[in-house]
């Protein structure tokens, strides 16, 4: 017997619910295959589930559309912070600045090296450190670092922080809508199972094929196993059923298999109690391979046999 396959995606769940809802709107209560209580529950839930899908899709698309802008601002901030620290190290190497200037930026222990900037937290940490350090150093009368100036670094850093906070907000919205949608999925599955059980109970006294056809009109999905497909096709040929009555594509495939098997000759079977005379086949003359002519210049030797 074919088994019933429940929907496993949000689109399939929504499609199954809408099919049942349309049936409930078209048919009067005494002709409907599931109860009015279930239909009332379906009316309330369908709009909630569809709205949750739309909200989650909108939140997800917003996060994706802003992600490239966030990545670009992150790269720019990392680049300016890294270049600013490299300029300080080169100035110290040339003797233009004393080595203890690194204390202003919290770079003690990072001699001639740039600290790691692989995560957002590290970018925020070192961006704030060099901005505060440069502000403190210039307040004491020191010449500001140029190319890049701290003003340019601050512009790129503030832009990154703004996009970072906005991206975090989008991620939270996406996670919240996804959580709400996951909660409604469980209710959707329970409601679909209830509708399908009531539909099958209504048509339980009909023959199997007719019962399945009537249930499919309410959105039920039946899946045949491979062995069942071949069995249905074989029965169709034995009973000379028309192709359109039992899945044309399966019948066509079965016909092709039958035509291939009929075109191949069957091996002869031995009959018990009978001995067949076997005529040996004449031996084929053996062919002698000609020996390859030896390479090089050798005198021709001829042997005569008398």
Residue pLDDT, tens place only, 64-96: 999 999 999 999 999 999 999 999 999 999 999
Backbone angles phi, psi at 259, to 5 degrees: -70, -35
Tokens in use for 82?
């890294």
- Residues 173 and 49 reside in one and the same domain: yes
Q: Which of 128-132, 255-259, 265-269 has the highest mean pLDDT?
A: 128-132
Position 123 pLDDT exceeds 80: yes
Position 176 pLDDT exceeds 60: yes
Domain boundary among 175, 202, 229: 202
Please tell me whether residue 164 adopts helix, strand or coil conformation.
helix
- Residues 167 and 242 reside in one and the same domain: no
- Residues 53 and 192 reside in one and the same domain: yes
CA distance 152 to 81: 10
Position 227 pLDDT exceeds 50: yes
CA distance 116 to 105: 14
As beta bridge partners, residue 3 has 223
Q: What is the pLDDT of residue 273?
A: 38
* 106 against 234, higher pLDDT: 106
Average pLDDT over residues 226-237: 62
Return the ∠ at Cα 76 (arms to 71 and 78), rounded to 5°.
95
- Residues 41 and 152 reside in one and the same domain: yes
Long-range contact list for 221-225, CB < 8 A, 24+ apart?
A: 221/4, 221/5, 221/6, 221/7, 221/16, 222/2, 222/3, 222/4, 222/5, 223/2, 223/3, 223/4, 223/5, 224/2, 225/2, 225/3
Please tell me whether residue 222 adopts helix, strand or coil conformation.
strand
Rounded (10°) CA dihedral 160, 165, 170, 175: 120
- Residues 255 and 106 reside in one and the same domain: no
- Residues 70 and 107 reside in one and the same domain: yes
Map 14-80 to HEC letters. HHHHHHHHHHHHHCCCCCCCCCHHHHHHHHHHHHHHHHHHHHHHHHHHHHHHHHHHHHHHHHHHHHH
* Averaged pLDDT of the chain: 80
Count of domains in the chain? 2
Q: What is the pLDDT of residue 299?
A: 43
| Residue 4 maps to a domain | no
| Residue 138 maps to a domain | yes
Domain that holds residue 113: 10-17+28-202
Element (H, E) at 137: helix 120-139
Question: Taking a C-beta distance cutoff of 8 angstroms, is the pair 123, 156 a contact?
Answer: no
Look at the pTM and tell me if it is higher than 0.85. Answer: no
Please tell me whether residue 85 adopts helix, strand or coil conformation.
helix
- Residues 219 and 119 reside in one and the same domain: no
């Amino acid at each position: 017997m074919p088994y019933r396959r429940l929907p496993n995606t949000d689109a399939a769940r929504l499609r199954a619910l809408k099919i049942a809802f349309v049936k409930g709107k078209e048919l009067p209560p005494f002709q409907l295959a599931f109860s009015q209580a279930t239909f009332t529950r379906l009316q309330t839930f369908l709009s909630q589930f569809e709205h949750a899908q739309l909200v989650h899709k909108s939140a997800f698309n917003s996060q994706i559309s802003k992600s490239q802008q966030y990545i670009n601002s992150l790269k720019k901030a990392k680049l300016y912070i890294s270049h600013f620290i490299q300029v300080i190290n080169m100035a110290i190497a040339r003797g233009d600045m004393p080595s203890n200037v690194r204390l202003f930026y919290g770079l003690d222990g990072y001699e001639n090296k740039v600290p790691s900037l692989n995560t957002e937290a590290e970018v925020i940490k070192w961006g704030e450190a060099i901005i505060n350090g440069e502000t403190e150093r210039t307040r004491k009368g020191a010449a500001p670092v140029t190319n890049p100036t701290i003003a340019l670094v601050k512009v790129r850093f503030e832009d990154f922080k703004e996009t970072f906070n906005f991206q975090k907000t989008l991620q939270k919205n996406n996670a919240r809508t996804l959580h709400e949608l996951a909660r409604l999925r469980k209710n959707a599955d329970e409601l679909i199972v209830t509708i399908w059980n009531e539909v099958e109970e209504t048509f339980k006294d009909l023959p199997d094929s007719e019962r399945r056809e009537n249930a499919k009109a309410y959105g039920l999905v039946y899946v045949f196993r491979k062995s069942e497909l071949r069995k249905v096709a074989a029965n169709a040929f034995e009973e000379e059923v028309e192709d359109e009555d039992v899945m044309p594509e399966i019948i066509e495939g079965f016909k092709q298999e039958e035509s291939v098997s009929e075109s191949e000759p069957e091996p002869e079977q031995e009959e018990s109690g009978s001995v067949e005379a076997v005529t040996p086949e004449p031996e084929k003359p053996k062919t002698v391979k000609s020996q390859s002519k030896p390479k090089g210049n050798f005198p021709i030797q001829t042997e005569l046999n008398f």
